[in-house]
Structure formats: structure tokens, C-alpha cells
Amino acid sequence: MNPTRRVLRIAWPCGLLLLALLHLAPAQAAGAGITIGVPNWPSVSVTANIIKQILEGRFGVRVELQTASNPVIFEAMAKGSMQIHPEVWLPNQQPLYERYAGSVVKNAHPAWGKQGICANGAALRSGIRDVSDLTDPDKTVLLDSDADGRGEIFIGAPGWSSTLVERNRAHQYGYDLTLSTIEIDEGLAESQLSIAERRGRPWVGFCYTPHHRFILHPDLKMLTEPPYQAARWRVPDDVAMEWPPQSIQPMYAKELAQRMPDAARLMANMDLDSDDISHFAYEVVVNKKDAAEYARQWIAANPDRIAAWFK
């Protein structure tokens, strides 16, 4: 047998195999799917489902939603096991963003919000209007709901980064001396507010916008505070002032732009606003709608807006 012909006979099937693998590689990459991390607040479940359904419907990509905390999601985006965080709230997650900034991309069209201490109508009418009123024992005793002679203030849920800041703010303002600072699940705090509203009793606690709470309780107002000063604000050392302006936007892993540019374009161009996010939470919490079903309804009602996200 001619040795040259034998080599050609061996090389030909190997070449076919190589060509097949080269053609298969993009398909495998596209089929690898996308994982969206979903933290534990109501609006983000709708936002995550909107992203999932758009990607699946337009590009046929497999998308998985995975419940996780903010630190886990950021670390997973850096390692490549997750690709998208639907709602990053800054400055609350600023340390995480700074730690993983080399691996993630921040959407440039945030919704804007505010956070601070809120008082219901009964508290406002009793004279609690400024954060300094929380150091007045004659006023704070009105916030005593358990008859122990000391008022209470909700400062956030356990595990929230904002709760740690609120603990420092309570100490620096001095109202931790006149009030018991309560850290409980947000749903329980909402129940306590609703009970206070029905009984006409004062209630004060941490709140943030956008949030469905302001739709449910239109008399809720934030207490006035010394204005935010960027040059002074330092966590945890100097936080006795208004919170910095709050932005809410998606973030995604940098590698997504190479692996699936259309998905990265969607994440870069989404422009959900504060009203969108408030109503997402309202529909899930108050109207008890399934997040995936409401996401389908929202997508069907906003085709032009979604189309603009891909331009």
C-alpha cells in the first residue's frame, strides 16, 4: 500500500471529525444556558422573570432562576456559574460591586429611589416629623406597642446591609437611647404597620422607595434629616445624615458579552423605573399574583419598550 495514500485515508475522517466539532462548539455554547440569581424581595422576582421570558422567547436560550443572597450572586457572576443579577441596589451593595467590579457590568439606566426613616400619619400628627424627634422621650413613648415603657423602631431585616448602617445611624443620632431598635423580617414589619394603621397608633421604621408600601399607606412620609454630604458620608463612622441617592439596576457578568451578545445588550439597555419596581412588588405582595404570570402580562403590554432595549 502507498504510505501517502494510507495517511490520507486516516486524515480524512479525522478532518471530518474536527469540522464537526468546530460546528458544534457554538451550539454547545448557546445551549449552556444562563442562570439568574434572585434575592429575597418581591420586585426582583418579577424583574428576573421578565428577563428570563424575553431571553427564552426571543433567542431560545435556556434560563434558570436560582434563589441566592447578594454576596453569593456576585461571587457566582465572578466565577461564571451565574450571569445576571436583576436588581442591584446601590449604595446598599456598593462594597460587593467594588469587590467584583472587574468581573461584572453595571446597567447605565437605573431607577432612582430613597431610603430613610418613615412615620405614619398618626406619628406625624403626634409631632414626630424630624429624626431629632426620636430622641424626645415624651414623643417616643407613643411608639410603645408592648407596654414595656419604651417605644420601638423597625430598622430593617436581619442580613440586610442597610440594617447595619441603620444600627449605626441610631447610635450616632442617639435614638438608640430612647427606642428599642427592632430587626425583623420585612413582612412582619409590614404587618405591624398595618395593625398600627387600623388602630390609629403611631409607627416609625426604616423604609425605602420604590416600594409598594407607599401605595398601601399613602400617609407614610420620611422624617427630615440633615442633608446628605458626599464628602462626609463614611460607613460606619459618619452616617448621621440622609442616605445617599439610591440607584437600582441590573448587573451582569462580563463574559456574557462574548458568549451571548444579545443577552448582554438586553441587560445593558433595560430601563425599568421606580414606578415599575413599585408596581411589581404591589402585584406580587398585595394582589397575590404569581411573579412569572405577571411578568408575561407585563411583557405583552410593553412590546415597543422591550424592542427599544435591543436597539
Q: Which tops the pLDDT comparison, 289 or 21? A: 289
Average pLDDT over the chain reads 90
Confidence grade of residue 159 (pLDDT, cut at 50, 70, 90): confident
Statement: residue 251 has pLDDT above 70? yes
Look at residue 16 in the predicted model and tell me its pLDDT: 39
pLDDT at res. 41? 87
**CATH class of the domain whose range is 34-110+247-308:** alpha beta
Q: Which CATH superfamily is domain 113-222 in?
A: Glycine betaine-binding periplasmic protein; domain 2 (3.40.190.100)
Q: Looking at the predicted structure, is the pLDDT value of residue 68 above 70?
A: yes
Assess whether pLDDT exceeds 90 at residue 311: no
Q: What is the pLDDT of residues 21-67, one digit of tens each?
A: 333 333 334 447 999 999 988 899 999 999 999 999 999 999 999 99
More reliable by pLDDT, 303 or 9 = 303
Structural contact between residues 277 and 111, judged by C-beta atoms closer than 8 angstroms? yes
The residues, ordered by sequence, that sit 6+ positions from 271 with a Cβ below 8 Å of its Cβ are 109, 309
The larger pLDDT score, comparing residue 114 to residue 4, is at 114
Instruction: Indicate the pLDDT class of residue 12, thresholds 50, 70 and 90.
Output: very low
Domains of the chain, residue spans:
34-110+247-308, 113-222
- Per the CB < 8 A criterion, the answer to whether 160 and 166 are in contact is no
Q: 202: exposed, middle or buried (C-beta count within 10 Å: 0-12, 13-18, 19+)?
A: buried
Q: Is the pLDDT of residue 155 over 80?
A: yes
Strand runs (DSSP E) across 121-267, as ranges?
151-156, 179-183, 204-209, 221-222, 246-253
Report the first-to-last Cα separation within the chain, whole angstroms. 61
Strands 246-253 and 84-90: antiparallel
What SS3 string covers 54-77?
HHHHHHCCCEEEEECCHHHHHHHH
Q: Which of 52-56, 92-96, 164-168 has the lowest mean pLDDT?
A: 92-96
From 229, 239, 250, select the one nearest 206 (Cα to Cα).
239
Q: State the amino acid at position 125 in one-letter form.
A: R
Percent of the chain past pLDDT 90, that is, above it, reads 86
Q: In whole angstroms, what is the distance from residue 207 CA to residue 278 CA?
A: 13
What confidence score (pLDDT) does residue 275 get? 94
Give the contacts of 264 (CB within 8 A, at least 6 positions apart): 105, 252, 256, 257
